[in-house]
Structure 1
């Protein structure tokens, strides 16, 4: 199997379900275990994403706070992978921010992927990418010159018990990142800056 990010041949098995890439350090689920679109959508429909839930608002707040601090209501944003409960968009719109929503299952408006944005955010989305190289290059192409790609995902590190880690146990998580993986994305795709602050990752 070839790494879908760096195109390296995957040979090191992390466990029976995942490879660990020797180049970009990503943890890549074996392709034969990738869920199909019907199962994937059914899993997302199980998520109880209520935009008025204060716990959900708090969980997603790293992205919301970053945008409120670094962008103005005059800037144009894209909620990529908005899902069934676009809580970040809802919070930003309360502050008069302009946010468009795209999701391949729940807001499938491909014309939005032809526009340019000051910021794009994706909360708990990038671990579902089957082709992360193509996805990140596409997202970068949608950014204006000073734009930012703002993400939330859990990063793996060697101190974690991978076998029992909850992120690894989600059957829809096919591509898991380490810090080195995002450094590879920054360098290979010519982003100017990388910020990693816990679950918050920003590529400028």
Structure 2
């Protein structure tokens, strides 16, 4: 069956991996690896997985984890600029860290903070930590975030990256049933070219994209 890439809408996708749980396709244009739509969880089952998360700004370990994105992004921001944490989850923490650093930060999450009015504003930076791998329509959703950036603004993403078919086959990241899209450096490079962004990779699971 022909499957359309959810990032670039190409029909040039091919089987990449298969296990007892799911199938995985890879796009020949943008290199996104994705799960077929028919194998995604429904909203109730997806929410049930997220409800098990116990993230909190009071957890030093979680703050250290988020610092992988916070540190390189905050170093690039002018004092006092405003941001948005997209997909903040049930325990918003990165937004708290930016607020503490003097950056007013709105939050949005389709399950836990669904005030879509924040998506109508413009921001100097937008973050999405451990979010893009959950998106059903990453092409549309990420393009909308880029559109919400001010000129020179930053989109900071945290997600683990595909490296090789061999590594993918034994990768713990694909065991989470809510993970349906898997990006590589090549995927982010394609996305940056498509949207006229500058791309940087400050860590193995962090990418910074700057709007021109």
Given the two structures, how large is their TM-score scaled by the length of structure 2? 0.91
Matched, 1:203 2:187: no
Given the two structures, how large is their TM-score scaled by the length of structure 1? 0.95
Secondary structure of residue in 2 paired with 1:100: strand
Say if 1:19 and 1:29, in contact at 8 Å, map to a contact too.
yes
Alpha-carbon distance between aligned partners in 1 of 2:118 and 2:98, rounded to the nearest angstrom: 18
**1:175 alignment partner in structure 2:** 181
Deviation beyond 3 Å, 4+ runs, structure 1: none
Gaps of 5+ in 2: none
**1:14 alignment partner in structure 2:** 16
**1:43 alignment partner in structure 2:** 49
**1:30 alignment partner in structure 2:** 36
**1:56 alignment partner in structure 2:** 62
Gaps of 5+ in 1: none
Say if 2:5 and 2:13, in contact at 8 Å, map to a contact too.
no
Matched, 1:5 2:11: no
Distance 1:159 1:58, change over 3 A: farther
Can you list the C-alpha shifts for 1:12-47, whole angstroms capped at 9, x where unaligned?
211231011111111110111111111111111111
Secondary structure of residue in 1 paired with 2:142: helix
Say if 1:63 and 1:88, in contact at 8 Å, map to a contact too.
no
The RMSD of aligned alpha carbons is 1.3
**1:144 alignment partner in structure 2:** 150
Alignment counterpart, residue 190 of structure 1, candidates 196, 200, 212 = 196
